[in-house]
Amino acid sequence: MADKKWFTSEDVDVAKMALDELPDLTEKRLTKSDVLEKLKDQIILLSAQKGYSIDDIHSALETVGIQTSVKAIREILNTQKKPKTGTGNSRRRTTRNSGPESSAEGK
């Protein structure tokens, strides 16, 4: 059978209906980053509270067929640590403490 060169409006309608009936595969076809995002809380828990190293977590994921990099796991753990750093607070304390001292010295 030769390829069609021309299509009718009915052909297009049939194709639209066929495409509309296809199921949503987004939950069945997750990317590595999607999988890691869904496992993020558990990875953080394993590292922070249960004493697992990045290599331990990487190995456990490989055991169940999830191929990822140590770097990707490290990035998840590093992004978790950033909000807890107190660099902003230390600056405010310095500013707050220096304000009353400088005004006391001027009196």
Instruction: Give the pLDDT confidence of 13-42 residue by residue, as tens digits.
Output: 999 999 999 988 887 888 888 899 999 999
Q: How high is the pLDDT of residue 88?
A: 53
Please report the sign of the dihedral spanned by the C-alpha atoms of residue 83, residue 84, residue 86, residue 92.
positive
Three-state SS across the chain? CCCCCCCCHHHHHHHHHHHHCCCCCCCCCCCHHHHHHHHHHHHHHHHHCCCCCHHHHHHHHHHCCCCCCHHHHHHHHHHHHHHHCCHHHHHHHHHHHHHHHHHHHHC
Tell whether the model's pLDDT for residue 99 goes beyond 70: no
pLDDT band at 3 (very low <50, low <70, confident <90, very high): confident
Tell whether the model's pLDDT for residue 46 goes beyond 60: yes
Cα–Cα distance between 61 and 55 in angstroms, integer? 10
For the chain, domain boundaries:
29-81
31-50 b/e (C-beta count within 10 Å ≥ 16 → b): eeeeebeebeeebbebbeee
Percent of the chain with pLDDT over 90: 56
pLDDT band at 96 (very low <50, low <70, confident <90, very high): low
Phi, psi of 23 (to 5 degrees): -75, 160
The answer to pTM > 0.85 is no
Lowest mean pLDDT among 16-20, 67-71, 94-98: 94-98
What is the rounded average pLDDT of the residues 67-77? 93
